[in-house]
């Protein structure tokens, strides 16, 4: 099960009870945090996110609305006696900024932080259950999007059939991988007679801050769900271009070109008190679009 819970859907200046960027990706009981704007820890309390489950934090770039809440969250983890290792991914000098602040407060954390500096596209975390990779977006400063993929699960063994066919337990692992079995008396048992297919793993992509850039389409292609920023409505596309941000229609065009299944939009400018126009404009181009609402979990 892959899902995303939105903690902040606004751009730089908090407004209209909307908060700076942060989301929690939940994958088989693990929680990954993507970006951590100021106040993220308060949003987590509000929406009952289990802080203790967070093992990985991914920071897209070092504009404050994407990471000013990180040092406070780490500090709170320490005060709450969090024990689990914490992996933090982000561009340089994120590690220096966080460590400087922990050092001046003489903070000793009860857990280990591993900083992973991102400097190019590639795989960040590879686990039997999931893979996280990153790709550079087109923003004013170095900025990365993140792709979260569930790995396909092993084929499901039909225990009764396997026993009836006399296949030994030592071969189960290979059955899960899709291999056929040949009995001692040379009878072929086809894999699909004793196992069933499991569903393909899902993919969610957080496309971070970026201007409209079609060279990013290959990174988004065929994803089950993407989050694309829409700082402005279509009538401000020149402003969007100039500030390395995207519009409602541009996000929808990317979703369409990349043939994704669903589009979430967010990172709204604080000039907008109402958001329905964003959804309306995007749906003219890509129907399966939704506003990323704070506190809401979207199943991928």
From residue 92 to residue 131, the character string flagging contacts with a copy of itself as x (rule: CB under 8 A) and all else as - is: -x--xx--xx--xxx-------------------------
Name the minimum Å distance from CB 68 to a copy of itself: 5
Retrieve residue 35's tokens: 């970006």
Residue 282 burial by CB count (10 A; 0-12/13-18/19+): exposed, middle or buried?
A: buried
Tokens representing 177 are 């991988």
User: 17, 28, 35, 65: which is the annotated catalytic residue?
Assistant: 65
Q: How many residues bind a copy of itself (CB under 8 A)?
A: 32
| Nearest alpha carbon to residue 127 among 28, 13, 215, 211 | 28
Per DSSP, 77 falls in state: H
Cβ of residue 63: shortest distance to a copy of itself, in angstroms?
5
What minimum distance in Å lies between the beta carbon of 150 and a copy of itself?
33
Contact 90, 98 (CB under 8 A): no
39 binds a copy of itself (CB under 8 A): yes
Q: Which helix (H) or strand (E) holds 75?
A: helix 70-79
Question: Can you tell me the distance from the alpha carbon of 280 to that of 11, in angstroms, rounded to the nearest whole number?
Answer: 20
Residue 175 DSSP SS3: helix
Q: Does 239 bind a copy of itself (CB under 8 A)?
A: no
CB of 269 to a copy of itself, least distance (A): 10
- Contact pick of 1, 79, 159, 164 for a copy of itself (by CB under 8 A): 79
Stretch that binds a copy of itself, among 34-42, 111-119, 260-268, 271-279 (CB under 8 A): 34-42
From 5, 21, 23, 41, residue interacting with a copy of itself (rule: CB under 8 A): 41
Active site residue 224: no
* Residue 139 makes contact with a copy of itself by CB under 8 A: no
CA 223 to each of CA 169, 205, 220, 247: distance values in angstroms, whole numbers, following the listed order: 36, 7, 6, 20
Would you count residue 76 as binding a copy of itself (CB under 8 A)? yes
Task: Indicate which single residue of 1, 123, 141, 164 sits in contact with a copy of itself (rule: CB under 8 A).
Answer: 141
Q: Are 168 and 182 in contact (CB under 8 A)?
A: no
CA atoms of 223 and 261, how far apart (whole Å): 7
Catalytic residues, by residue number, are 65
Contact positions vs a copy of itself (CB under 8 A)? 12-15, 19, 38-39, 41-42, 45, 62-65, 68-69, 71-72, 75-76, 79-80, 93, 96-97, 100-101, 104-106, 140-141
């Amino acid at each position: 099960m892959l899902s995303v819970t939105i903690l902040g859907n606004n751009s730089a200046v908090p407004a209209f009870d909307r908060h700076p960027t942060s989301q929690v990706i939940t994958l088989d009981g693990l929680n990954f945090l993507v970006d951590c704007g100021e106040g993220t820890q308060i949003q987590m309390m509000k929406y009952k996110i289990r802080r203790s489950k967070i093992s990985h934090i991914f920071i897209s770039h070092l504009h404050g609305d994407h990471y000013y809440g990180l040092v406070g969250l780490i500090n709170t983890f320490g005060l709450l006696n969090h024990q689990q290792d914490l992996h933090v991914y982000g561009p340089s000098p994120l590690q220096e900024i966080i460590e400087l602040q922990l050092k001046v407060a003489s903070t000793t954390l009860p857990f280990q932080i591993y900083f992973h500096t991102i400097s190019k596209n590639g795989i960040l975390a590879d686990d039997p259950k999931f893979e996280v990779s990153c790709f550079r977006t087109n923003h004013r400063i170095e900025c990365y999007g993140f792709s979260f993929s569930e790995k396909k699960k092993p084929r499901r063994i039909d225990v009764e059939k396997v026993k009836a066919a006399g296949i030994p337990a030592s071969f189960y692992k290979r059955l899960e991988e899709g291999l056929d079995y040949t009995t001692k008396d040379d009878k072929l048992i086809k894999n699909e007679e004793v196992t069933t297919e499991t569903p393909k793993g899902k993919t969610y992509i957080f496309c971070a801050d970026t201007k409209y850039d079609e060279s990013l389409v290959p990174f988004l292609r065929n994803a089950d769900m993407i989050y694309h920023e829409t700082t402005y409505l279509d009538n401000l596309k020149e402003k969007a271009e100039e500030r390395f941000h995207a519009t409602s229609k541009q996000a929808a065009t990317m979703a369409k070109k990349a043939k994704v299944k669903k589009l979430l939009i967010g990172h709204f400018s604080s000039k907008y008190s109402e958001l329905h126009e964003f959804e309306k404009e995007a749906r003219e181009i890509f129907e399966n679009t939704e506003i990323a609402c704070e506190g809401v979990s979207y199943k991928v």
